[in-house]
Amino acid sequence: MISLSSYLIVSFALFLCGIVVIIARKNIIAMLLGMELILNAGALNFAAYTRFVNQNLDGHVMSLFIIIIAAAEAAVGLAIVIRFFQIKESIHIDDAVELQS
């Protein structure tokens, strides 16, 4: 009953949720939450393909790297948000417009 497609559907829905969060939210931290969802969807796909298509574990290693990159991204991203907040006293994305010069 459970096949590759069920995992793909779950991962796809996760990805869509992440997209909606990133687009709909105007709060930088909330957008970072959405980013985490998207990265998770990607890592889940790697693991699912590893299980159902070929059983070598390179996919797992790839997922591991994705998780690590997500953690690093969250660390740096949140640091930027905090720095931004110290300067502008706001974490609204529209206030960050001037970052793109």
Partner 1 sequence: MSHNLDVYMPVLILAAFAAIMFVGALLVGKLLRPHNPTELKVSPYECGEVPIGTAWSNFNIRFYVVALIFIIFDVEGAFMFPVAAVFKRFVEMGEGGPVLALLLLFISVLLEGISY
Partner 2 sequence: MFLDTMFLLSALATLGGALMVVMSKNLMHACMYLLLSLFGVAGLYATLGADFLAATQLVVYAGGVVILMLFAIMLTGGVEEFVNKFGINKIPSMGTTKTYTIGAIVSLIFSFVILKTLSPLFKNYSQADLPPMESTVEDIGVLLVTDHALAFEISSVLLLGALIGAAVISRPRKINGGSK
Hey, what amino acid is at 73? E
What's the CA gap between 81 and 97, in Å, rounded?
A: 13
Tell me: does residue 62 bind partner 1 (CB under 8 A).
no
For tokens 């930027």, the residue is: 80
Hey, what amino acid is at 49? Y
Taking contact as CB under 8 A, which single stretch among the options 19-27, 28-36, 41-49, 74-82 is the one that binds partner 1? 74-82
Which SS3 state, helix, strand or coil, does residue 9 take? helix
- Kindly report the length of the chain: 101
Tell me: does residue 68 bind partner 1 (CB under 8 A).
yes
Tell me: does residue 54 bind partner 2 (CB under 8 A).
no
Residues 16-45 that bind partner 1 (CB under 8 A): none
Q: How many residues bind partner 1 (CB under 8 A)?
A: 10
Contacts with partner 1, residue ranges (CB under 8 A):
64, 67-68, 71-72, 74-75, 78-79, 82
